[in-house]
Amino acid sequence: MAKKFSQEHEWVELEDGIATVGITDYAQQSLGDIVYVELPEVGKKLVKDGDAAVVESVKAASDVYAPLDGVVVEANEDLDVNPALVNESAETDGWFFRMELSDASQLDELMDEAAYKDFVEGL
């Protein structure tokens, strides 16, 4: 599946019923050098648009929101050791967590890449 994007600058990629979630390249550039990431615990139930994680940069701390309802099945432990991985590859290796979706139809509410690009250009 192609990536989908939220207005809060999270991306989602679905594979075999599991959604990988991270922040967009735009978000990491806006934050600056990331120094810490607080990830959700495996088993945590997330609610769409609710708090999921925290990312701290030299500029500020920012919440990362759940783009969909579901349960966390994996957190990217590489970020504990190297939070700068988000700056280096926000939309690949710098993913935050994986979740099993409660309602896959919520994906339809997210933007495709072209719509997200237009959204960012309008900011």
CATH number at residue 54: 2.40.50.100
Q: Report yes or no on 88 lying in a domain.
A: yes
The CA distance from 114 to 49, in Å, is 22
Q: Report yes or no on 12 lying in a domain.
A: yes
pLDDT at 21 over 90: yes
The CA distance from 32 to 30, in Å, is 6
Range of the domain at 41: 4-97
φ/ψ of 22, rounded to 5, equals: -155, -175
Q: Report yes or no on 104 lying in a domain.
A: no
DSSP-derived pairing of the beta strands 34-38 and 51-57: antiparallel
Q: Report yes or no on 114 lying in a domain.
A: no
Model confidence, pTM: 0.96
pLDDT at 17 over 80: yes
Considering its fold, how many domains does the chain have in total?
1
Q: Which of 111, 8, 93, 88 is nearest to 52 (CA)?
A: 8
